[in-house]
Structures are given as C-alpha cells and as structure tokens.
Amino acid sequence: MDASAGGSADPADGSAPPPTLFDWEFATDPYPAYAWLREHAPVHRTTLPSGVEAWLVTRYSDARQALADQRLSKNPAHHEGSAHAKGRTGIPGERKAELMTHLLNIDPPDHTRLRRLVSKAFTPRRVAEFTPRVQELTDHLIDQFCEKGEADLIHEFAFPLPIYAICEMLGVPREDQDDFRDWAGMMIRHAGGPRGGVARAVKQIRSYLVELIRRKRDDLGDDLISGLIRASDHGEHLTENEAAAMCFVLLFAGFETTINLIGNGTYALLQNPDQRERLQASLAAGETDLLETGIEELLRYDGPVEMATWRYATEPLTLGGQDIPVGDPVLVVLAAADRDPERFSEPDTLDLARSDNQHLGYGHGIHYCLGAPLARLEGQTALAELLTRLPDLELAEDPSELRWRGGLIMRGLRALPVRFTPSP
Ligand code: HEM
C-alpha cells in the first residue's frame, strides 16, 4: 500500500519516494517510513490492511495534542460506518460488549468513574510491594533455561513473565495460571487472523473471570481483584461486568506490551554493544540510575506500542493542518512521534542515559498507561537479571532472519533466539 494514496502526501518535491506501508519490510523496520511521513505527510489518511481508512499522526507535537484531545473518542460506536467496530475483533456481540466496555474503549464521564475506582486498588504501593515476587518469578524463569546455553527469549522468558505476574497480582490461583497462559497465547497468535481463536479465548476468559470474581466476593483477600471489589467512590462500586472487563483490560493491556518491552529492549541492547556494556558496568557497580533511564529510553527507541489504540473524531477538527471529518478513525503513531527530531536530539540513537525524555510510549492524557509502574518494575527486573546472570548473551540468528509480528498497534518479535555460556 502506497503512502501517497492518502490526500496529504506530496511525493513531487524531488525527495525520496513515498514509502510502502504495512508490508514485510515495514514490519521489520518502520522507522524510515515514519521519518518520511513526519516530513512530508505528518497527518496522513491511508487505507489500513483491514480496508479501514484512518489518519496516521506521526509528529510528536501533533501526537501529544491528539492524545489529549477530548473530541477524539475511544468509543468505537463513533466510527463512521462502524464496520471496524463490528468486525475486527471477531468477538460475538454480547460477549464483546461485556468485556470490551473497559477503560480503553470509553470516554468521560464513565472513564473518569472507572479509572478513579481502579486507581484506588491498583496503586503504586501495591506494585512496590510486589517487587520481591517479580524478582522471584524472573529468577525462576531464567533458572529454567540458563543451563542450556541457548533460549528463545520471547517464548521462554518475555511471554510467561508478565502473564504470571499479573495473574498473581490479580489473585488468579496458581493452578489456573497456565490456562491464562494458553488463552493469552491464543489471543496473540490469532490477533488480526481468523476470528474463531480470539472469540473462543475471550469466551473462556470471561466465564473464568466472572466465576472468580463471584468467589472472591465471598472471600475477600489481599489481591487486586479483592481490591477492585472493595473499591468505592462516593458509595459507588464496580458492577460485576465492569469488574470482569477491568480484569480483562489489566490482563491484556499489560501482557503483550510487557513481552515486547523485554523483547524489543533486549534486542536493542544486543544491537548496541556500547550501551549494553555501559549498563552491565553500572549494574555490576550496584547502581540503578542507568537502568531506570535506560528502560525509558528503550520505550522511546523501539517501544511495544507502535500506535496508540483507536480514536474517532466526534466533531470536525484540524490536526497538523489537516481537516478530519466526524467519524474518521485516528491512529497516533507513538513510534514515529518518539523519533521526531523536533523533539529528541539524535532520535535514532539509543542513549540509555538520555535525560530529556518525555516519550509517548505509555501514551498521554487521560488514558495514560495505568500499568506503567508495573511495566517499569517488570522491565527493569527482567533486563537487569538477564544481563547480570547471562553476561555474554548474544543473538543466535542474523538480525535479518528475525521475524516481527507486523500487527497494527503492537510492535514485537515473534522469537528472539539467543546463546550464552551456560550458567548453573
Ligand atoms: C494504557 C502502553 C503495560 C494497563 C496504555 C496506553 C499505552 C500503554 C500507550 C495508552 C493507549 C491509548 O491512549 O490509546 C504500555 C506499555 C506497557 C504497558 C508500553 C509495557 C511496557 C501495562 C501494564 C498494565 C497496563 C503492565 C496493567 C497491568 C493499561 C491500562 C490502560 C493502558 C488499563 C488503559 C488506561 C486508560 O484508558 O485509562 N498503556 N502499557 N499497561 N495500559 Fe499500558
């Protein structure tokens, strides 16, 4: 698909030709195409692989503005024609409505109410108290492959860590956590593909969550689900459906994203040996500053969320000089905004110590990532342990052989084969 197909491209200015979007090459390295769009067509209407027409917003200033603009709704019912809203996920109407009425699909005032309720239970303190458990989970996963001398870091490490972490935090009993691992795997494998797999997984997850919430209601504990049931605001509580949808969004907003933070982050470090050595030296000296700024830089440099989730114009608006009609979908391309040279110096360079780094990897505005503290904890723990326990970690495949998932919203590797000196 040609980037010039939309109304805003200007290929006639003698510069490089417009890039092809959404093919294999783009999935592998979208950044040259984003540089072209930022320069020539910063708010660009294009046809997505699904056939839906949408605006891509690629400059940092426009992206930030769009993320904070309340005229851009998150409710798919605002999509003109709404074919996307009906068809994309493949989740049958009733189930879809039940689990999909969650933070990422609603606007104020409902969003404000639900976000306030969940924030009372999913607190930074709860995350901080969870630190030793994330450390144990991380150690346990590395124990399972460290003697082999080789591993697929996506499958054996980045994939299980966030699912077990959020299951534990929610209070899903250990014996049921592997079911979640399977359902999550099904959702990732079938995302954007045939509908049956996703619909089946969502149905199973919903039945399970509703049942679990009922059981917890009768036997409240310290876990996050119990916290969600307890949370109240001016006497208001989450309904059963709202609680189930909230658990669903916590599970799935935090799952593929964190896999990709660990996957893309490790890959970026392996590709930038000077930065990786600097981080290893700093970890060996017992410092955490570079790890903290480093995780933020990895989110900016090659973050998990390539495009923010869908938004739809509820009023005519002008963005980056383009008039956007009511009902049109807008995709804010976080990956492009975070490489904007107008905002970041040497944006294509990985600099783990970068200090002026207000990246958009966690979004911006009222939908700013609720799970950012947990994601930071998992990302920092995972990368620190990998680099410390497997100091000579290296890619086991030529980078050109690596396969990227190629979805619209997420950016991540299908597999990350590595080798290292076996360690006990
Ligand atoms: C929202 C990124 C991990 C829960 C978002 C948004 C982004 C994002 C960009 C805003 C989307 C938009 O405006 O369209 C990330 C990244 C993560 C991560 C890069 C990992 C590195 C997590 C985790 C959780 C989580 C671990 C929870 C356990 C949420 C929720 C929202 C959200 C609930 C919706 C907030 C709202 O609409 O008010 N995330 N996320 N995320 N994230 Fe995360």
Q: Are 224 and 170 in contact (CB under 8 A)?
A: yes
Q: How many CB atoms lie within 10 A of CB 356?
A: 7
361 lines ligand 1 (CB under 6 A): yes
- Its domain, for residue 24, covers 3-419
In a domain, 169, yes or no: yes
What is the per-residue DSSP string for 312-378? EESS-EEETTEEE-TT-EEEE-HHHHTT-TTTSSSTTS--TT--S----TT--GGG--TTHHHHHHH
> What 3-state class would DSSP assign to 58?
coil
* 68 in contact with ligand 1, CB cutoff 6 A: no
This model of the complex carries an ipTM of 0.99
Q: How far apart are CA 341 and CA 353, in angstroms?
A: 18
What would the pLDDT profile of 368-419 be if each residue is shown by its tens digit?
Answer: 999 999 999 999 999 999 999 999 999 999 999 999 998 889 999 999 999 9
Q: How far is the CA of 284 from the centre of ligand 1 (A)?
A: 31
CA of 9 to the centre of ligand 1 (A): 31
Residue 162 CA: which ligand 1 atom is closest? Answer: 26
What's the CA-to-centroid distance between 69 and ligand 1, angstroms? 18
- pLDDT tens for 13-25 read 556 678 899 999 9
Residue 298 lies in a domain: yes
Cβ of 374 closer than 6 Å to ligand 1, yes or no, is yes
Name the residue of 369, 376, 380, 411 to mutate for ligand 1: max ligand atoms within 8 A of Cβ: 369
Domain count, the chain: 1
**Is 424 a member of any domain?**
no
Collapsed DSSP state (helix, strand, coil) of residue 226: helix
Is 26 within the bounds of a domain? yes
Is 38 within a domain?
A: yes
Q: Ligand 1 center to residue 375 CA distance, Å?
A: 9
Give per-residue pLDDT as tens, 35-46. Answer: 999 999 999 999
304 part of a folded domain: yes
Would you say the CB of residue 362 lies under 6 angstroms from ligand 1? yes
Q: Which atom, in ligand 1's list, is nearest to the CA of 378?
A: 26
338 found inside a domain = yes
Residue 141 burial by CB count (10 A; 0-12/13-18/19+): exposed, middle or buried? Answer: buried
Q: Is the CB of 115 under 6 A from ligand 1?
A: yes
**Residues 56-106: tens digit of each pLDDT:** 999 999 999 999 999 999 998 888 765 444 444 433 444 456 777 889 999
Residue 308: how many CA atoms within 13 Å on its side-chain side? 38
Q: What is the CATH number of the domain that holds 158?
A: 1.10.630.10
Q: Is the CB–ligand 1 distance for residue 412 below 6 Å?
A: no
